Amino acid sequence: MSAVGRDPAGLRGVAGLAHLFPPHSVNCDNMAMVKTITWQELSSNSSDVMRTLGDGHTFIVTRHGEPVAELHPIRRNRFVDTQRVREVFGEAPQLDADAFRCDIDLATDQSIEPRN
């Protein structure tokens, strides 16, 4: 199925944000959309922007044409299935805890003296 012109979150219908999604825009369900808006648009449509952030979209805010901020949703901790973790790390080499601690101790300065 083509992603051209798709708007799965229905953002074209949100007042104040429709102009950000022209009919030829491209969206993929697994790709975060990044839209550029002016600070005036953010100020005028803050509730719509917040709702859109909640749907997983990201905004670059500009002032006088220069990017000044990036608004993105907070990434929530996600549950990872134990079986998937075993698959990913199953063939990782075993870690020697004593050797690891020794390496860390050699690489770091743990003295209480202030660094200059």
Query: Looking at the domain assignment, is residue 13 inside a domain?
Result: no
End-to-end Cα distance, the chain: 61
pLDDT tens column, 14-25:
555 555 554 444
Query: Looking at the domain assignment, is residue 16 inside a domain?
Result: no
Nearest CA to 42 among 61, 21, 29, 68? 61
Query: Looking at the domain assignment, is residue 9 inside a domain?
Result: no
**What's the pTM value of the predicted model, to 2 decimals?**
0.41
Q: Can you give the residue range of the structural domain that contains 111?
A: 33-116
pLDDT of the residue at 61? 93
Predicted confidence (pLDDT) at residue 28 exceeds the cutoff of 50: no
Query: Looking at the domain assignment, is residue 21 inside a domain?
Result: no
Predicted confidence (pLDDT) at residue 27 exceeds the cutoff of 50: no
**How far is it, in rounded angstroms, from Cα 51 to Cα 57?**
9
Query: Looking at the domain assignment, is residue 63 inside a domain?
Result: yes
Query: Looking at the domain assignment, is residue 8 inside a domain?
Result: no
How many domains is the chain built from?
1
Q: What are phi and psi of 43, to 5 degrees?
A: -65, -45
